[in-house]
Structure 1
Amino acid sequence: MKIYVAYHKATKQLSKDSLYEPLHVGKGMSKVDLGMIGDDTGDNISDKNGSFCEATGMYWMWKNAKDDYIGLSHYRRYFSKTDKSWCEKLMQKMMFLIGLGKKRKGVIYAKDSQKRRDQILDLATAKEILEDHDIILPELRLLKRSVSEQYAIRRPNNDLNIVGDIINEKFPEYSQAFNSMMSKNEIYACNMFLMKKPEFDRYMEWLFEILFELEQRVDLTGYSSYHQRIYGFIAERLILVWLSKENLKIKELPVLYFNKL
């Protein structure tokens, strides 16, 4: 059982628990060696990291990792094995009153401290959770608008509509779930998960058939460096669609976000 932790620069490793394996994503484009496994070995798409983000790591995990359970987190973001404190929950309710709560639901903004590090999900807790669940995911992120509206505002292109066309053509059985996802205001953000390798393999085969077809249809000329990261953004939104056809028992956990490292 491994959760690969995506890194793209040199920074501290917040957990030394055996559950975690650091992974240098985009190493094929990098000029530095972070002293960890890179996603540029074996079958890989490391050179696409500028537009695929951590999805180059997901592809590498799919094609090269042999773990029985496999997951992904980020050097700043980890699953929390404990819920928010009463004080944090009270603060969240106050955030709702001023219009900020939806963005922060399920996220614990954490300063780097031993207390916070002790909250990071560990191997023993992950095994215990997965005795009764099939997949660990971050708590659903609530958006202020529908997924379709939010994407159009923040990324003013019709990329998601093209994804809908691809799903209609290649996976019509998912069309209803895609349309439902677009009309709702929730996503599983950050491409974070932990699941059995066979389920992960099915998800990756489905996801990358869509993303690679999208890559053929989208011209990124004129996109900013931020907006070029569309394949990572879209992967975040598609896991809900994929899950609609999977009979998996989901365990949602809060995300610890170490915003100052």
Structure 2
Amino acid sequence: MNNIYISTFGKKTIKVKNEIPIEVGSANRNNFLYSVRDNTGINISKENKYYGELTGLYWIWKNQLIQNDELIGFGHYNKVLNVSFKKAYKLLVNEKKYDFLVAERTYITPHPQKDELNAIASILKRYYREYYETWTKLYNVDGSGKQCNNAQLFITTGKYFNKYCSFLFDVLERMRDIIGDKKGSPYDVRYCAFMGERLLTVFIVTNKLSYKEYSIKYASKLVNIGRKVTKILNINKKSRLYRTLQLKFGAKSSYKK
């Protein structure tokens, strides 16, 4: 079983080889396009408002029992890593050249909720000291930094997938206990998802895993073209021009109203 799981919220998914679309947050809605849903078996589907697409990742980990030598990838309905399945399989399984394929490191913006940052830091410091030291090296006190392989886009093998999920969900479950429920827009309350984005790089760096970065391939051709142009022209992400281009051509989050 070597598959790329693609999370979706009742939307048509981007097409890749060996793709399995998984409907996330299924316990909280009734609009579906695909048969695999995260509200069966062992699941946290009802927690989707806090975890985002990670409820799908949790379902895969708990119910699919990925073997150590199997390839496993994770993407989203509108974006995946820009690498073919054949190439990924060769690098990870046949040649064992890398442990992870991930999105290119990029700048991740400051996180506005100090209580959430304090919670994640305290958990890592108490239960995962080495991971905490990596966290402080990668990110600033406001959670921002230039060293994040974000968006939870990755391809790896079961050996590292299972270790990563065990670490990730233990930390996030502890965080849920500390922070509890929150009110706000669907985008703003996704605090477990926001912290989860940062933790993938922390896991890879702390465990000294080998990895190769790839650009992100979007379902929208306009987004792909726009990102190439901004990279070639080296447009500052904090500039007015970049913000204008992002509003017009950038990828849209399905969580925003």
Scaled by the length of structure 1, what TM-score is found? 0.75
Which aligned segments of 4 or more residues in structure 1 are displaced greater than 4 angstroms? none
Taking the aligned partners of 1:219 and 1:21, their CA distance within structure 2 comes to 32
AA matched with 2:34: G
Q: Report the count of equivalent residues.
A: 211
> Out of 89, 97, 102, which is 1:137 matched to?
102
The reply on whether 1:22 has 2:21 as its aligned counterpart is yes
Q: Give yes or no for the alignment of 1:208 onto 2:169.
A: yes
- How far does residue 241 in structure 1 lie from its aligned partner after superposition? 1.4
In 2, distance between residues paired with 1:45 and 1:199?
Answer: 21
1:256 aligns with 2:221: no
Amino acid at match of 2:23: H
Tell me the amino acid that sits aligned with residue 128 of structure 1: K
Q: Does 1:7 align with 2:8?
A: yes
Alignment match, 1:128: 90
Q: Which amino acid aligns with 1:204?
A: C
Q: 2:34 and 2:79 mapped to 1: Cα distance?
A: 20
- Cα gap change, 1:203 to 1:32, in 2 (>3 Å): same
- Give deviations 1:83-137, integer Å, cap 9, x for gaps: xxxxxxxxxxxxxxxxxxxxxxxxxxxxxxxxxxxxxx2x212212322211110
Deviations 1:39-97 (A, max 9, x none): 1111111111111001101111111113412121001001113xxxxxxxxxxxxxxxx
Structure 2 contact 14–79 (Cα < 8 Å) conserved: no
- Rounded to whole Å, the distance in 2 between the matches of 1:174 and 1:79 is 25
Superposition deviation, residue 34 in structure 1 = 1.9
Q: Please, what TM-score do these two structures have when normalized by structure 2?
A: 0.76
Q: Where does residue 102 of structure 1 map in the other structure?
A: none
SS in 2 for 1:158: helix
Cα RMSD (Å): 1.9
Which one-letter code corresponds to 2:200 in the other structure? I
Check the 8 A contact 2:139/2:147 in 1, yes or no.
Answer: no
Structure 1 residue 191: Cα displacement: 0.6
Q: Quick one: distance in 1 between partners of 2:188 and 2:3?
A: 30
Aligned equivalent of 2:189, options 225, 228, 233: 228
Q: Is the 8 A contact 2:43 2:58 kept in 1?
A: yes
- Relative CO higher for 1 or 2, CA cutoff 8 Å, sep ≥ 6? 1
Q: Which runs of 5+ in 1 are unaligned?
A: 82-120
**Structure 2: tracts of 5 or more residues without a match:** 223-250, 252-257
Q: Which amino acid aligns with 2:52?
A: C
Task: Output the CA distance in 2 between the equivalents of 1:236 and 1:56.
Answer: 13
Contact 2:43–2:55 under 8 Å retained in 1: yes
Q: Percent identity?
A: 25
Q: Where do 1:52-91 residues align within 5 Å?
A: 52-67=51-66, 68-81=70-83
Superposed displacement of residue 16, structure 1: 5.2
